[in-house]
């Protein structure tokens, strides 16, 4: 990819898990991350950093660890944080903000990914670019 002509963009994604379980959190995080990569036609070197947040009810695992275990992402900067505990917010939710060089210069060409229950977070994207 020519980084001179391909802009850096933020790509959002979210997914929920059924329960606070380390294996479920790892599997959901990987599914979300890989779907975001695929839908935006990215390769590992395109991604500069990933910020991951979890709701306060997910405490059994660091989601970043599941991505870091994949050799090609071993040195990718990943950071986990806890979401603001807003009353009535979606439960057991993992959110990703990926910063990447993208093949399209257009902001509306970015494919944000909201899987399962999280689709209601961005009803404005329903049918456009939801997972």
Q: Which segments are annotated as binding site?
A: 12, 95, 114
Does 38 qualify as catalytic in the annotation? no
Extract the runs of DSSP E, i.e. beta strands, from 47-106.
Answer: 47-54, 78-82, 93-101
Binding site membership for prephenate: which residues?
12, 95, 114
Residue 2 φ then ψ, to 5°: -90, 105
Does 95 qualify as catalytic in the annotation? yes
Distances (CA, A) of 103 to 50, 78, 130: 18, 22, 19
Catalytic site residue from 65, 73, 117, 122: 122
Catalytic site residue from 65, 73, 83, 117: 83
Catalytic site residue from 12, 65, 73, 117: 12
Q: How many CA atoms lie within 13 A of 11 on its CB side?
A: 34
Catalytic site residue from 93, 95, 102, 111: 95
Does 68 qualify as catalytic in the annotation? yes
Does 93 qualify as catalytic in the annotation? no
The H or E element spanning position 15 is strand 8-16
Catalytic site residue from 68, 71, 87, 92: 68
61, 29 contact by CB (below 8 A): no
85, 73 contact by CB (below 8 A): no
Does 12 qualify as catalytic in the annotation? yes
List residues with catalytic annotation: 12, 68, 80, 83, 95, 114, 122
């Amino acid at each position: 990819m020519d980084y001179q002509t391909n802009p850096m963009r933020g790509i959002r994604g979210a997914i929920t898990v059924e329960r606070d379980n380390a294996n479920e959190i790892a599997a959901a995080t990987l599914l979300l991350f890989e779907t975001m990569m695929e839908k935006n036609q990215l390769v590992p070197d395109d991604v500069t950093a990933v910020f991951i947040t979890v709701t306060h009810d997910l405490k059994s695992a660091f989601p970043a660890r599941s991505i870091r275990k994949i050799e090609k992402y071993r040195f990718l900067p990943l950071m986990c944080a806890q979401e603001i505990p807003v009353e009535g917010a979606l439960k057991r939710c993992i959110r990703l903000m990926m910063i990447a060089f993208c093949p399209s210069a257009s902001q509306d060409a970015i494919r944000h990914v909201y899987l399962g229950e999280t689709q209601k977070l961005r009803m404005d994207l329903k049918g456009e670019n939801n997972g």
